[in-house]
Structure 1
Amino acid sequence: MHAGHADPPRAGEGVKAAAAGAPSPACGGGSGWGQGVDVLELHGDLPVEQQSRVLQPGDGNRRRVVLATNVAESSVTLPGVRVVIDSGLAREPRFDPNSGFSRLDVVAVSQASADQRAGRAGRVAEGFAYRLWPQSQRLEPQRRPEIAQVELAGLALELAAWGQSDLRFVDAPPPGALAAARDLLQRLGAIDTGPHPNPPPHAGEGAVTLTVTGRRMLKLGTHPRLAAMLLAARDDAERALACDLAALVEARDPLRARNDGWRARWLALVAFRAGRNDPDAHRGGLAAIDAAARQWRLRSDAKAPPPGGVPAHALGDLLAHAFPDRIGHVHPRDPQRYALANGRMARIADDSTLRGEPWIVASELRFEAKDSLVLRGAAVDEARLRADFAPRFVERDEVRWDAGKRALVAERVRRFDGIVLDARPAGRVDGALAARALTDAVAELGLDALPWSDGLRQWRARAQSLRAWMPELALPDLSDAVLLASREAWLLPLFEGGTRIDALSSEAFAEGLRAQLDWPLRQQVDALAPARIVVPSGLERRIEYALAHDGAPEAPVLAVKLQELFGLAETPRIADGRIPLTLHLLSPAGRPLQVTQDLRGFWDRTYPDVRKEMKGRYPKHPWPDDPWNAIATHRAKPRGT
């Protein structure tokens, strides 16, 4: 809120920050909001004439109170403003996963916005800023970039039109949000990610191309979901109905009573146009929706007047084109649950107007831990669905992994997109489908489901450790995440001809994993991160390698009896001398005596004490005074010595 006053400023220089909750000087004198006060609004939806009125100097004898939104944070100067009352709130666009659109949401302002608002009070002279939040409340320093918190389907459509997918942004769009936007555009039929015969110039490697439908959607200049619905209309009368739906979807709910059906909202709009009063509806909201629908009819060139009545499924038949990912089919054993085309589940409320409908489209969902709740939806006619979405109805043989049976199941499946409509046993398992199903099962079960041997785990740890220690070797990444992501390339061939995970032999699995490194790199691993090392006793001892939870290599360990290292002065090292081994020096019984990476220091400082204590406990084993020149051995002393 900005309060303008013609009197001189109260005191001070520039802007004075007043305590939260203090009375505003602009409201003093007990005059209230009666005579002598002009109350003006300033927000982006006002006509230009009304916005201009706020920018004009007022009568010097009248107080002016300007009720403003975030638009007042701009560089515009409001004449006569000496006092700012800042609520500390702002309406900013946020992605609403329930509706699939970006909506204006009320959030706390950033510190930068609060400073900008306070500056309005001191733009022409000293003034006051009253902040209506406690001083203890900490604000974010800056607003988050809008691109990081809104739905990006419109941006993805524009990028496809430009033919460039790797533009340099000041703030890059989040990869996950951009991928989700492109997935939606594919469902809407707006883009194609397959090979293009004539790719646009300068198209990046991951570029997508617009379809004919996508170009028509772009011309409508609205959200791709709504554009797809408007373009799906079969005739002019249906296009007029689509305009009503577009206006309803974008607007605030005009009904006071909670109701999950779009038909009730549309009928309230029809009644408003006919001059009938609906006690459960907001007339002002319906008037705004009617005006918006009129604009939609002009933009989409709909010649027919708005309809006064339509078949029961007509609304859902159109909304399905805006929300193809949220088309739902009733669960065969639970009439309140619906399987959605995107593979998720949703439920309707006990008193839902959609109860009993075999097909619905859920335009608004509240995402919950188990099943999403349908907040807004409409019934869909199956015949229209089969006509408009024919390619998504498929029947094929599928092989899947049954976790309960720990076996493959072959079925003849009828689907609509991600919804299984029917599944029957298919008999013999197709080999290619079986291999793919087993490969996907590993993604679900994890790599531990594969036949790892201790030696193979050590080999991977050696390769991963050497990759970190000597990056110049350019060893491939063998982490769990990378192996799972690339499983089709290396694991799928290993399952060919198999029908069970445990049928994969440990030898075949080991060879398939090691094949990720070519022969020269495998030799480098064996030479620079050896599995075993020869100690002074003449025997080979194993080196233990391990990786931390974050994948970083831990120090390699050589566990060896102390007597086997007599005569060795320096700690053994691997990886071309870069990495010292951690020595676990053991007693003759194999119990640890010392852990060190400084063998020379152990001989000099610690060994005399160890010798004194152990000589009596293990008299049959050598404990020489001079370990530097003693003969290393893994045996006890000969009898009689």
Structure 2
Amino acid sequence: MMPAAFDLDAIGAGLSFAGALDDLSAALDAGGSVVVTAPPGTGKTTLVPPLVASRCTGRVIVTQPRRVAARAAARRLAHLDGSPLGSRVGFTVRGERSAVPTTQIEFVTAGVLLRRMLDDPGLDGVDAVILDEVHERALETDLLIGLLSEVRELREDLVLVAMSATLDAERIASVLGSESAAAPIVDHDVPAFPLTERWAPSPVPRLDERGVTSGFLDHVARVTTSAALTQIAEDPEADVLVFAPGAREVSEIARRIRESSETFDVRELHGRIPPAEQDAVIRGRTSKDRPRIIVTTSLAESSLTVPGVRLVVDTCLSRHPLRDASRGMTGLVTTAASRSSSVQRAGRATRQAPGAVLRCVDERTYAAAPARPVPEIAVIDLADAALLLACWGSPGGTGLRMIDPLPAENLADALTVLRGLGAIDDEGRATAEGRALARVPTDPRLARALRDGSPAVGRRLAAEVVALLGGDLRIADADVAQALISLRGGRTPDARRWRDDVDRLERLAPPAPHASADLDGVGLVIALAFPERIARRVERTAAGATFLLASGTRAGVTGPLAAVEWLAVADVARASGRAAAGSGAVIRAAAALTEAQMEQAADHLLTDRVEAEFSGGRVQARRERRLGAILRTSVPVRASAQEGRDAVRRTLRRDGLGMFAWSDGAEALRRRLALLRRELGDPWPDASDAGLVDTLDAWLAPELDALASGTPVGRLDLLSALRRLLPWPEAVRLDELAPERLEVPSGSRVRITYPEPDGDTSARPVVAVKLQECFGWAETPRLVDGRVPVLFHLLSPAGRPLAVTDDLASFWSGPYAQVRAEMRGRYPRHPWPEDPWAATPTKHTKNRAAR
């Protein structure tokens, strides 16, 4: 039986998208997947769900990227439908639900639907899923596209709609469609009201090493107040919308505006304020209310429509997650907003009438901003996503049709984390422990801390710590314990939201004996979540302290935590300036930790072994106890023979062969072998640095033992060692193929200088010989069975180079005459015959040669 239909005419009254409903119906008739594009404020979020519901008997799920957007969309549609919220139209977000079994349209966050699908992969009772705001490229929405595309292969009846204000429609349509055809696209466009662009660049920098500068916030508040006064003088019904990068900046700008003028009703809009206050902003104002200035995060960029706005003030800043692969950490960073985001923001002023945007940068800075935001999948920590995919049965996203694959490097790091938690096996499949962690709606590491920390510190304290760390709450001086004290006694919106999260997490924690409410266990809970971030103080200054993390990262902290020896660090990010204490990173959330707690949380990172090294020409050894990269104790000991050999090998592999003093004979043999390897290949050995280091045991084993037992480096016979590499029986031809010396016409046997083993691969063997010793020599000699011509450096009687040639015949017939003309006067005692072909080669003067 079909449920009662929604009155689309009443719901869509005044909404532009009502004109696209026929096109959407036709597209749904053609196939089960549709891509919808329409500008913000046209009504697609309001109209598409009831249209789809009118064609279904089961529930329609609509995802939103944020909780406030899901609640607001549900309230608006229920209001337009004339039904109580939670009956025909409802919502479910983290920690809050307003829906019944007969609810036809349910708005949810993407994360709620993802975890729901772990328990119900087939989405029993759901006839359609609508993914809204796909253009934001939130990680959870990207994952849903992959999972739902796979569900549709088994359930052709499932309707799937992707909606966005600005979208690469063709790309999404190819993912949502079948192998043979892309999904149809419904593109609804409406003429925009005129937009006036103005510029108000700040006289002070927007950002420094600590984030958004106070001077820039002053500037934004000042230009907003001035522009708002001008705006309401022209249009008393107009409101102003100010975009700031985060909740802290929202509060600071709002406070400054309130202090400078009582003309306006200054409101804040972000995810931390209570739902009732959010709803009040979204409802708009009556004619009796004061003009409003709404200061918001990117929340109002496209997810929500704020009525009455005619002026947008844009900081042109954005806050987003960014992974620092070199330090293995992810944090929120503030950067220039993309131009597409700025266009979205400016469009909020022209939803209902002509409007204006005031950007707090100059035109050149705006033009230099990135064109589009980077998808979250490319920059965010993937541990939670990787665990969900493993539970789904598609480790790493294998086999799923996704917009972008998970980046290989970030995915590898995430899988390492999950293996350390015991959440996946060697093949990447989810374990029973992993499935249990996935059902806790937080990062897997925090889920592990909740499960393992509850028996140790009690369910309540474990839930309190996890709720704080997972709740994106600001922590003063990075001190988690003090933040908990404030939240326990506070009545702020943050405190209320935190307590709700604590209650929810406590119900998910395993049973545990009652524990006291003191804060001694805070560090243990953090360390259970992030054992690789356990840190020890290595330096303290007047500005703060530097800590070394078990992962090897150094990070700074200021305030009371600088006095603590051991810390459990929950959040660390790249930074510079005073807070980083010269380390390049700053600790943003941590708690004191005892050594006993450290050993309890990170026993798998503890090592106790002898570390030997070869330094100063001898082996030295120490017994070291470490926690990852942190050295706890170190005492000198005597190295065993094997430890000594290993130490020498490590030194050679790290520093190369430069520690050796090569004799002339050893160096010459090495160069000869290198040329034969270059020209003939196997079985002649690789005599380069890398080749010799890779084959240490084949040629240097006795010498390694000697070094390990104390023999000085200078006493090693490297010539004998290298001879061990000679291949037999080919070695009998060594002197024939690459002789040490070359006999020249004068009778002298001149040493051949062979190319360096790691030098130019086209370099030739060189013979440096006096020109007079080569008179009459026509054919240039060649080595290695005729493959390599010798390069002659023909020298003056004083040993200075006169010519370089590998063609003696051409030299005597040509350049020799010029050399003779220049040299015969300078060296008259030596022969310089006109006909070098007929002259007798000699290494002596003319008189001595005559005698």
Bin of the TM-score, shorter chain as denominator length: 0.5 to 0.7
C-alpha contact (below 8 Å) 2:322/2:379 kept by paired residues: yes
Measured in 2, the distance between the counterparts of 1:218 and 1:524 equals 68
Q: CA deviation at 1:593?
A: 1.6
Counterpart residue type for residue 489 of structure 2:
A
2:642 counterpart residue number: 432
C-alpha contact (below 8 Å) 2:241/2:311 kept by paired residues: no
Alignment of 1:402-551 (within 5 A): 403=615, 407-427=618-638, 429-443=639-653, 445-454=655-664, 456=666, 495-496=704-705, 498-500=708-710, 502=712, 506-507=716-717, 511=721, 515=725, 539-546=749-756
3-state DSSP class of the match of 1:319? helix
2:793 counterpart residue number: 584
Q: For residues 290 and 48 of structure 1, do their structure 2 counterparts lie closer, same or farther at Cα, with a shift above 3 Å needed? A: closer
Q: For residues 623 and 146 of structure 1, do their structure 2 counterparts lie closer, same or farther at Cα, with a shift above 3 Å needed? A: farther
C-alpha contact (below 8 Å) 1:327/1:341 kept by paired residues: yes
Structure 2 residue 318 is matched with structure 1 residue 108: no
Which of residues 317, 339, 352 is equivalent to 2:560?
A: 352
Q: CA deviation at 1:360?
A: 3.4
Structure 2 residue 453 is matched with structure 1 residue 233: yes
Q: CA deviation at 1:395?
A: 4.7
C-alpha contact (below 8 Å) 2:241/2:312 kept by paired residues: no
Q: CA deviation at 1:400?
A: 2.0
Q: CA deviation at 1:242?
A: 2.4
Alignment of 1:548-563 (within 5 A): 553=761, 555-556=763-764, 558=766, 559-563=768-772
C-alpha contact (below 8 Å) 2:617/2:712 kept by paired residues: no
Alignment of 1:271-350 (within 5 A): 271-272=489-490, 283-297=492-506, 300-301=508-509, 310-328=517-535, 340-342=549-551
Structure 2 residue 591 is matched with structure 1 residue 378: yes
Which of residues 608, 616, 619 is equivalent to 2:817?
A: 608
Counterpart residue type for residue 269 of structure 1:
L
Which of residues 320, 324, 343 is equivalent to 1:92?
A: 320
1:267 counterpart residue number: 485
Q: CA deviation at 1:265?
A: 0.9
Deviations 1:540-575 (A, max 9, x none): 541342478xx6546336233323444456776778
1:134 counterpart residue number: 362
Q: For residues 44 and 310 of structure 1, do their structure 2 counterparts lie closer, same or farther at Cα, with a shift above 3 Å needed? A: closer
Alignment of 1:36-75 (within 5 A): 36-38=237-239
Deviations 1:203-252 (A, max 9, x none): xxxxx776664554445464343233123124397343223222322445
Structure 2 residue 259 is matched with structure 1 residue 31: no
Measured in 1, the distance between the counterparts of 2:598 and 2:840 equals 87
Q: CA deviation at 1:102?
A: 2.2
Measured in 2, the distance between the counterparts of 1:328 and 1:479 equals 42
Q: CA deviation at 1:586?
A: 1.3
RMSD over aligned Cα, in angstroms?
6.1
3-state DSSP class of the match of 1:555? coil
1:622 counterpart residue number: 831
Measured in 1, the distance between the counterparts of 2:356 and 2:515 equals 55
Q: CA deviation at 1:367?
A: 5.9
Measured in 2, the distance between the counterparts of 1:518 and 1:167 equals 49
Which of residues 612, 632, 654 is equivalent to 1:400?
A: 612
C-alpha contact (below 8 Å) 2:606/2:625 kept by paired residues: yes
C-alpha contact (below 8 Å) 2:781/2:790 kept by paired residues: yes
C-alpha contact (below 8 Å) 1:495/1:504 kept by paired residues: no
Deviations 1:97-138 (A, max 9, x none): 899642332212456766888899999999988765334443
Q: CA deviation at 1:331?
A: 7.4
Q: CA deviation at 1:297?
A: 4.0
Q: For residues 55 and 263 of structure 1, do their structure 2 counterparts lie closer, same or farther at Cα, with a shift above 3 Å needed? A: closer
Measured in 1, the distance between the counterparts of 2:233 and 2:685 equals 75
Measured in 2, the distance between the counterparts of 1:581 and 1:129 equals 76
Measured in 2, the distance between the counterparts of 1:409 and 1:241 equals 47
Q: CA deviation at 1:610?
A: 1.2
TM-score (norm 1): 0.68
1:249 counterpart residue number: 469
Deviations 1:150-185 (A, max 9, x none): 44545666787769789799678475x666556655
Q: CA deviation at 1:94?
A: 1.0
C-alpha contact (below 8 Å) 1:451/1:509 kept by paired residues: no
Q: For residues 97 and 526 of structure 1, do their structure 2 counterparts lie closer, same or farther at Cα, with a shift above 3 Å needed? A: same
Q: Which structure shows the higher helix fraction? A: 2
Measured in 2, the distance between the counterparts of 1:232 and 1:600 equals 86
C-alpha contact (below 8 Å) 2:270/2:296 kept by paired residues: no
C-alpha contact (below 8 Å) 2:666/2:718 kept by paired residues: no
TM-score (norm 2): 0.54
3-state DSSP class of the match of 1:377? strand
Q: For residues 417 and 580 of structure 1, do their structure 2 counterparts lie closer, same or farther at Cα, with a shift above 3 Å needed? A: same
| Same amino acid, percent of matched pairs | 32
Q: CA deviation at 1:266?
A: 1.1
Measured in 2, the distance between the counterparts of 1:500 and 1:33 equals 91
Measured in 1, the distance between the counterparts of 2:668 and 2:300 equals 64
Measured in 2, the distance between the counterparts of 1:233 and 1:49 equals 34
Bigger shift: residues 66-75 or 631-640:
66-75
Q: CA deviation at 1:29?
A: 6.9
Counterpart residue type for residue 435 of structure 1:
R
Bigger shift: residues 407-416 or 100-109:
407-416
C-alpha contact (below 8 Å) 1:435/1:493 kept by paired residues: no
Alignment of 1:181-260 (within 5 A): 184-185=417-418, 188-190=421-423, 200=427, 213-214=433-434, 216-220=436-440, 222-235=442-455, 238-252=458-472, 254=474, 258=477, 260=478
3-state DSSP class of the match of 2:560? coil
1:205 counterpart residue number: none
3-state DSSP class of the match of 1:233? helix
C-alpha contact (below 8 Å) 1:410/1:426 kept by paired residues: yes
Bigger shift: residues 81-90 or 610-619:
81-90
Aligned residues: 599
Q: For residues 541 and 326 of structure 1, do their structure 2 counterparts lie closer, same or farther at Cα, with a shift above 3 Å needed? A: same
Q: CA deviation at 1:436?
A: 1.6
